[in-house]
Structure 1
Amino acid sequence: MRFVPAALLVLSFFPLAAHADEECQVTAVFSGDQLTCQRADGGDTTIHLRGITAPELEQPFGQRSRAALVQLALGKSATLKHAEPLPDGSLRAAVWVTPAECPNCGHTLDIGRAQLSIGLARWRQSDAQTPEEVGQYQFEEHEAKARRTNLWRKP
């Protein structure tokens, strides 16, 4: 029985491993960090992109952020990774799609990370992420700031 607490401690370090990847079709984009996916069962689910927060539509760069996400994801097949249910029935997940410039590459583009790289979202540090993702997202935001891209422009 003394191994049970140790096992629970070890499992607590892997909160993202419990959810399997899931395929879906992106059917709508609401903002720069929120979209709708049609899942295999035919149901539509609102997805909040894990690891980022984008400006609201009425805020500066809100429309531009949404337009960028439309270009990246709308109408595409996608993979939801590390989906986490939210109290309102939606999910928070990393969403991966096939890059437009590489149609045979499969779902290799993390659209949240792409939004960070072009300066149309901020890194949401409060979301659960793997150590690798933390480094990647932190890097993308840092680079966008250094380039003074979009959100990071000097007024």
Structure 2
Amino acid sequence: MFALPFSTHARTQTCFVVSIHSGDTVTARCGDAASANAWRLVRLQGIEAPKPGQPFADQARQKMHDMVRLKPADVDCDDPTSHARERICRVMVTPDSAPNGPRTLDAGLALLTVGLARWQPAQAQRLSPQERGQYEFAEEEARAKRAGLWKDSRPARP
């Protein structure tokens, strides 16, 4: 385990994503499954995907499923001492294109890139300035390409 340089409270854990709730929320098991503290409701930092019932919600959930379900993930969460029901985290997995490689695919950034989430700077205080720029640029590119929820002239806010 190690702390990332841009946060004094962050901690990266290797977890296993067991279920997908929506395009931006998953359940992950981090550590011993018998421990009540091992199970985490994880909300991806810096993004907001459409809510169930909204346009593109099913596509966002499916994309998240395809990227992370039943895979080991590096989960970098907010204050590790928090007992909050929902944790705000960055989730990194191994991309399907390099199954034996390192966990370099940022699930939140991937959803932004294909237009299945909105960039939420207020929820991304722990991202470095470079990462914040990547997230913002990914949304701008998706808008320009009219990808995903940006196909609608007035996409619903999650």
The reply to whether TM is greater than 0.5 is yes
Q: Which has the higher mean CA deviation after the structures are superposed, 66-75 or 35-44?
A: 35-44
Aligned partners of 1:16 and 1:130 also within 8 Å: no
Any gaps of 5 or more consecutive residues in structure 2?
154-158
Q: 2:43 aligns with which of 42, 48, 55?
A: 48
CA offset digits 1:107-139 (Å, max 9, x no partner):
010000000000000001102121111111011
Could you tell me which residue of structure 2 aligns to residue 108 of structure 1?
104
1:59-70 matched pairs, under 5 angstroms: 59-70=54-65
Query: What is the CA–CA distance in structure 2 between the aligned matches of 1:40 and 1:154, rounded to whole Å?
Result: 42
Match of 2:143 among 142, 145, 148: 145
Query: SS at the partner of 1:78?
Result: strand
Q: Does 1:98 align with 2:94?
A: yes
**Is 1:123 paired with 2:119?**
yes
Q: Could you tell which deviates more after superposition, 50-59 or 125-134?
A: 125-134
In structure 2, C-alpha distance between the alignment counterparts of 1:136 and 1:15, rounded to whole Å: 16
Q: What is the number of residues matched between the two proteins?
A: 141
Structure showing greater Rg: 1
Deviates more, 1:97-106 or 1:114-123: 97-106
User: TM-score with structure 2 length normalisation?
Assistant: 0.84
TM-score (structure 1 length as normaliser): 0.85
Aligned-partner SS, 1:35: strand
Alignment correspondent of 1:19: 10
1:34–1:47 CA contact under 8 A, matched in 2:
yes
Identity %, equivalent residues: 34
Q: CA RMSD in A?
A: 1.6
Give ranges in structure 1 of 5+ residues lacking alignment.
1-13
- Which ranges of 4 or more aligned residues in structure 1 deviate by more than 3 Å? 85-88
Alignment partners' CA distance in 1, 2:53 and 2:84: 23
